[in-house]
Structure 1
Amino acid sequence: MRFRVWFRRLALGLTAVVATVFAIALPVAYAGEPPNSDLPSRYLTRVESRYVETDLARFHYTVSGSGSPVVLIAGGGLWGYSWRDVAPALAQQHTVYAVDLPSQGYTELRSAGFAFDLPAMAEAIAVFLDAVGLDRTALVGHSWGGAWSLYFAEQHPERVERLVLLDSPGLDAEKAPITPLFQTPVVGELLNDLTTRSFYTDSIRGTFVHKDLVTDELIDEFYSPFARPANRAGFLALWRNLDYRLTDAGLDQVSAPTLVLWGGDDEWLPPSQATRLADRIPDADAVIVPGCGHTVHEDCPAAVIPRITAFLS
């Protein structure tokens, strides 16, 4: 017992030391770069971009296609641009909504007391669905977006037709290695505030195996809305407030057929979580895609998109 206490204290101490060094090194490594970016989105000139007003938020979303509805929810620090290859493929058979939730993209939060935790993000999904008139839909979520979708499916099974989870946390298990840095007081604020375009690029590149796909255009599209102060603040709050004990406890409440897709070379969350997650959901299958990273649908679109379209068909 004493050894366990000692080991835990040692681990916490090492985390604190690494976090302090990281916080000192970050502004030096990326000195001279502005933290913000105001580049307009060229992607939004090529798609149907809409807003819907609610008391909770002014939700930004894109819509395409016709048929049964599918709602796409991007991962943390990303937005609807993440689905630029997925949405057109699904739009051949479905009406596809790619929504930015609070802290993402071009959505503007109206509620000052928004909690940025799993219940709040699931409620945001419900508010958006109500606002665009969807009683029931298929949900596709990546990373944090998958965790929010999973919790929504647990709490509102009657509203979810099918569920696709891409490299999505949901187990009370291993977390992304960078989590302790964002959760450390002061260090998390420094790391969040000093995330320049270059540091953001390095972070995104770490979620891809095929590094050549991380183009200047991709970073321009992602970084500009991420750099908004409100989005940064929400991003940090989510690091600290997402409690996967909630999703873990409710996995048997998911009634929708579920596909769990995972990059075999995911460096953020171990691929073993895919099968462990699918084993706990009543009607779920897991597929691990070799040679792909955490952002699996962008890293390996040719392997992943047909699996999503087939499952939703």
Structure 2
Amino acid sequence: MHRGIWARRLTIAVAATLTTLIACAIPAHAWEPPRFDHTSQYLSRIESRYADTDLARFHYTVTGAGSPVVLIAGGAMWGYSWRDVIPELAREHTVYAVDLPSQGYTELRRGDFAYDLPAMADALAVFLDAVGLDRTALVGHSWGGAWSLHFAQRYPDRVTRLALLDSPGLDAEKAPVTPLFTTPLAGELATELTDRNFFAESIRGTFQHRELVTDEMIDEGYAAFSRPGNRDGFLALWRNLDYRLTDAGLDRVNAPTLVLWGGADAWLPASQADRLAARLPNATATVLPGCGHTVHEDCPTETIPALAEFLR
């Protein structure tokens, strides 16, 4: 898929809506986000757990036995994203899949949460403390990888291994849709007016094998994205994540690190994989040809064994 094609479609659609609103002098706050009534089938198949803290009521799952591994999904995604990864890693590990603030079914309890890299890294620390994990391996995808990377910079002694899947961390190229969400008013409208169709198009844009994007995948993702607070958190993250912080602290990561990237990533160029790994003290880079940004769902037969071998 041509790089950024879904972003251009979304930008055009939102721009048309924005033009209409301005022409009619309708204020942005008069609009309410589209509602989506959906009963999650995935939640009925798993054992949800909750860790209650002053910061948030964290939703998570625990599967398997062995050394701990914590999985952190990307932006606008949640633990469902790891549904194929969890059973395989759980053969040798105790696998936690956690929703951080703005994700899934976690409920934030503080109105002053910053939604920036330090806040997300500290939220992860709060969760780990709540479930009694002093040290763990971390696997993060996209934004979840950036949060994991910054956690490893702030708390290096707490990370045994670090896997970064198509994760921003360099002060370098950004996703092509970034200007849409970072522009005042346009960002608010793009977020509030994102319906299931726009959401589906964005998900498909992260896959090279678009036939793998099922209705269930879209419904599970959109239902979580549409929960109260998650849209606002999503927009705040677009505007507050500053990768100059991660770029400046790459030499502080002492854990063995795997940088895994889809060679056909339409969000972030695969050239960042080698550049990121070269800046980390103990890292290797693997680029999987023909795989998109959501590499663990787009190419599970290549990604999951690579993760299992690295974590072993």
TM-score when normalising by structure 1:
0.91
- Match of residue 92 from structure 2: 93
* Structure 2 counterparts to residues 107-118 of structure 1, below 5 A: 107-118=106-117
Inter-CA distance 289–19: structure 2 relative to 1 (3 Å threshold):
closer
Q: Once superposed, what is the RMSD of the aligned Cα atoms?
A: 1.8
- Match of residue 14 from structure 2: 23
* Structure 2 counterparts to residues 246-265 of structure 1, below 5 A: 246-265=245-264
Counterpart AA for 2:76:
G
Question: Contact (CA 8 Å) 1:61, 1:98: kept in 2 or not?
Answer: yes
Counterpart AA for 1:45:
S
Question: Contact (CA 8 Å) 2:138, 2:162: kept in 1 or not?
Answer: yes
- Number of equivalenced pairs: 293
CA distance in 1, matches of 2:17, 2:100: 28
CA distance in 2, matches of 1:257, 1:111: 34
Question: Contact (CA 8 Å) 2:15, 2:186: kept in 1 or not?
Answer: no
Question: Contact (CA 8 Å) 2:78, 2:221: kept in 1 or not?
Answer: yes
Give the SS at the match of 2:76: coil
Aligned-pair CA distance for 1:45: 1.5
- Match of residue 31 from structure 1: none
Aligned-pair CA distance for 1:47: 1.6
Give the SS at the match of 1:222: helix
CA distance in 1, matches of 2:36, 2:18: 17
Deviations 1:19-43 (A, max 9, x none): 9855342589xxxxx7221312111
- Match of residue 24 from structure 2: none
Inter-CA distance 60–25: structure 2 relative to 1 (3 Å threshold):
same
CA distance in 2, matches of 1:154, 1:44: 33
CA distance in 2, matches of 1:126, 1:168: 19
Counterpart AA for 1:227:
S
CA distance in 2, matches of 1:173, 1:267: 15
* Structure 2 counterparts to residues 117-132 of structure 1, below 5 A: 117-132=116-131
- Match of residue 231 from structure 1: 230
* Structure 2 counterparts to residues 77-226 of structure 1, below 5 A: 77-226=76-225
Aligned-pair CA distance for 1:160: 0.1
- Match of residue 25 from structure 2: none
Question: Contact (CA 8 Å) 1:26, 1:191: kept in 2 or not?
Answer: no
Deviations 1:105-139 (A, max 9, x none): 00000011000000000000000000000000000
Q: 4+ runs of 1 displaced by more than 3 Å? A: 18-22
Give the share of equivalent positions with the same residue, in percent.
72
Counterpart AA for 1:190:
L
CA distance in 1, matches of 2:67, 2:15: 51
Question: Contact (CA 8 Å) 1:263, 1:289: kept in 2 or not?
Answer: yes
Question: Contact (CA 8 Å) 1:48, 1:64: kept in 2 or not?
Answer: no
Aligned-pair CA distance for 1:236: 0.1
Question: Contact (CA 8 Å) 2:258, 2:284: kept in 1 or not?
Answer: yes
Counterpart AA for 2:289:
P
Question: Contact (CA 8 Å) 1:69, 1:138: kept in 2 or not?
Answer: yes
Question: Contact (CA 8 Å) 1:27, 1:194: kept in 2 or not?
Answer: no
CA distance in 1, matches of 2:10, 2:37: 29
Deviations 1:232-260 (A, max 9, x none): 00000000000000000000000000000
Aligned-pair CA distance for 1:86: 0.5
- Match of residue 277 from structure 2: 278
Give the SS at the match of 1:229: coil
- Match of residue 295 from structure 2: 296
Question: Contact (CA 8 Å) 2:18, 2:186: kept in 1 or not?
Answer: no
Question: Contact (CA 8 Å) 2:263, 2:288: kept in 1 or not?
Answer: yes
Aligned-pair CA distance for 1:52: 0.8
Inter-CA distance 26–88: structure 2 relative to 1 (3 Å threshold):
farther
Inter-CA distance 71–284: structure 2 relative to 1 (3 Å threshold):
same
Deviations 1:254-290 (A, max 9, x none): 0000000000000000000000000000000000000
Give the SS at the match of 1:61: strand
Give the SS at the match of 2:38: coil
Deviations 1:205-237 (A, max 9, x none): 000011111000101111101012300000000
Question: Contact (CA 8 Å) 2:145, 2:167: kept in 1 or not?
Answer: yes
CA distance in 2, matches of 1:24, 1:149: 34
Question: Contact (CA 8 Å) 1:67, 1:94: kept in 2 or not?
Answer: yes
Deviations 1:52-79 (A, max 9, x none): 1000000000110001000000000000
- Match of residue 4 from structure 2: none
Question: Contact (CA 8 Å) 2:277, 2:283: kept in 1 or not?
Answer: yes
CA distance in 1, matches of 2:227, 2:262: 29
TM-score when normalising by structure 2:
0.91
